[in-house]
Structure 1
C-alpha cells in the first residue's frame, strides 16, 4: 500500500466545455472535495472568476497523478500542495504555470516555501533567491469554461486546450 498524506490542488486557466468535462471526470475519480472534509466535487461547484480549489486526505504519494499529468499535457496551470510523510518525503508545492512542465518547491506543513543553504548557494544572488520565491508563489488564474459554440475569452494568464 502506498504512503498517503493530505493534499490540495488549485486549477485555473481556460477550457472549453468538453475539456472541463474530461477534467471533472478525473476529479470525480479521485474523489476530491471542495473543502477539507467537505462535499465531493461536482462540476456546478466551479465558481466564475475563481480557480478551482480541491482537497483530499489519504492521497497516495501526495500526488493527484492523473489530474496533474492531464493539466501538464493540456498546459493548464495548477498549484498542488501535499504534506510530508515521515522518512519518505517532505511537504512540497508543485507549480505548473501552463507551459507543459511542473516545478517542485520545498515547503513547510503550512505551505510556506523554504530553501536550503545549497539552493541559496546555487542561486547565487539575492535577486535569484527572490525570483525563486516569486516563482513558487505563482497565483493560479481563474478557471474559465466556455461552451464549444462560443469563443474562449482572452484572459491573461490562461491557457487554452486545443
Structure 2
C-alpha cells in the first residue's frame, strides 16, 4: 500500500481554451479540489484573474506527476507542496517558473522554507542564503485562458501555450 500525504498545487500562465480543457482533465484525473476535502475539480471552479489553487489529502507518495509534466510541457509556472511521511521523506516545495527545470526546497509541514547545513555551505554567504529563501518564494501568476473577460491574453507579454 502506498504511503499517502497531503499536497497543494498552485499554477498559472496562459492557455488556449482547448489546452485548458486538457489541463482540467489532468486535474480531475488526479482527484484534486479547489479546497481541502472539497468537491471533485470541474473546469468551472477556476476564478478568472487568479492562479488556480488545488488541494488533496491522501495522495500516494505525495506525487501528482501527470500534472507536473503537463505544466512543464506547456510552460505553466507552479508552486507545489507535498507533506512529509514520518521517517520516509521530508516535506518539500517544488517551484517551476515556466521554463528550465523545477527547483526543490526543504520545507516543514506548514510549507515554511528550511535550510540545511549543506545548503548554507554551498551558498557561502548571508546574501546567498537569503537568495535561497527568495528563490523559494516564487509568486505564481494568474491562470489566463485566451478569451477571458477583462484580461488581455497577452497582457504581460507571455506567449499563449498551445498544445
TM-score, scaled relative to structure 2: 0.91
Which residue is 1:114 aligned to?
Answer: 114
Q: CA 1:128 to 1:142, structure 2 compared with 1: closer, same or farther past 3 Å? A: same
Task: Output one character per residue of 1:104-130: Cα deviation in whole Å (capped at 9) or x when no partner.
Answer: 100010000000111111011111111
Partner-residue secondary structure (3-state), 1:105: strand
Task: Output one character per residue of 1:125-144: Cα deviation in whole Å (capped at 9) or x when no partner.
Answer: 11111111111010100000
**Is the Cα contact below 8 Å between 1:74 and 1:100 reproduced in 2?**
no
Paired residues, number: 158
Aligned positions of 1:1-162 closer than 5 A: 1-147=1-147, 153-156=153-156, 158=158, 160-162=160-162
Task: Output one character per residue of 1:43-92: Cα deviation in whole Å (capped at 9) or x when no partner.
Answer: 11111110000000111111211000111111110111011011211000
Cα distance, 1:158 vs structure 2: 5.0
Cα distance, 1:155 vs structure 2: 3.7
Cα distance, 1:160 vs structure 2: 2.9
**Is the Cα contact below 8 Å between 1:13 and 1:157 reproduced in 2?**
no
Cα distance, 1:97 vs structure 2: 0.5
* Structure 1: gaps spanning 5 or more residues: none
Cα distance, 1:157 vs structure 2: 8.2
Stretch moving more, 105-114 or 128-137: 128-137
CA distance in 2, matches of 1:80, 1:146: 24
CA distance in 2, matches of 1:49, 1:133: 27
**Is the Cα contact below 8 Å between 1:6 and 1:83 reproduced in 2?**
yes
Partner-residue secondary structure (3-state), 2:15: strand
CA distance in 2, matches of 1:158, 1:17: 16
Q: CA 1:159 to 1:105, structure 2 compared with 1: closer, same or farther past 3 Å? A: farther
Task: Say what the alpha-carbon RMSD is for the aligned residues.
Answer: 1.5
CA distance in 1, matches of 2:75, 2:113: 24
